[in-house]
Amino acid sequence: MFPTQVVNRIAKEGNVKVVETLSDDNLPGNPSDSEHTYVGMMLENIENMLVPLGGNITSLNDVDPRDTYLHS
């Protein structure tokens, strides 16, 4: 969304690290892979945000990325 120079400057001044592996339009894996879904992309983004912050995603291990329906 922002030019790299702007992002890098903000990160430097804020003493933070930029996570460059987040995606909003590239599904992970190949079309035949189970993670090649919107849910799979969101799971990958969550991992790419939480792990660098010192967290883990073990509570999401049972989420099936092929399950694209909302359950009530």
Residue keyed to tokens 């993670």:
35
Distance of CA 29 to the CA centre of its chain: 13
pLDDT value, residue 52: 86
- H or E element: which one contains 47? helix 38-50
pTM: 0.73
**Cα–Cα distance for residue pair 66/40, rounded to 1 Å:** 7
- Reading the chain (72 residues) residue by residue, the pLDDT tens digits are 667 899 899 999 999 888 888 888 889 999 999 999 999 999 999 999 999 889 999 999 999 998 876 565
